[in-house]
Amino acid sequence: MAVQVIVPPGTAKPVAPYSPGTKAGGVIYTAGIVAIDDAGKTVGIGDIKAQTRHVLDTIKAIVAAGGGSMKDVAVNHIFLKDYADYAGMNEVYREYFPSNPPARYCVRADLVRAEWLVEIASIAHVG
């Protein structure tokens, strides 16, 4: 089975050796997406809602480039720097998954850059 690399226009260049998304056999996998713009600068420093929105917009672009939509997302893996940001993350998250939300887990973790507050990796089934 061939693996298709997905790099939507306007997304950040990866900060390590990975692809933003891949598609294999009708399944789209995203990398752990963080709040960086296409120039590699952090978006929304100190603002969990802005970072969550940027992360989910990036995931939406990756899934769309693979032929799907947010309704195709089956699971999200969420990493928060601080559980104090849980409510703010959820407020934005609900906008992207207003009904029949995907399965998910959320854990507290140190992220690669100190200013990153949230990282989300998704799996979507399309076709």
Query: What CATH code is carried by the domain that includes residue 63?
Result: 3.30.1330.40
Question: What amino acid is encoded at 15 in this protein?
Answer: V
The secondary element (H helix, E strand) that includes residue 4 is strand 4-6
pLDDT at 13: 77
At 84, phi and psi to the nearest 5? -65, -20
Q: Please count the structural domains in the chain.
A: 1
Asked whether the whole model's pTM tops 0.85, one would answer yes
Q: Provide the pairing of β-strand 73-80 with 103-108.
A: parallel
- Note down the domain range covering 74: 4-125
Instruction: Report the pLDDT value the prediction gives residue 109, as an integer from 0 to 100.
Output: 97
Report mean pLDDT in 10-residue bins for the chain, 127 residues: 89 84 97 92 97 98 97 98 98 97 98 97 95
Answer yes or no: are the C-beta atoms of 62 and 5 closer than 8 Å.
no
**Looking at residue 114, what is its pLDDT?**
96
Given this model, what pLDDT does residue 19 score?
A: 93
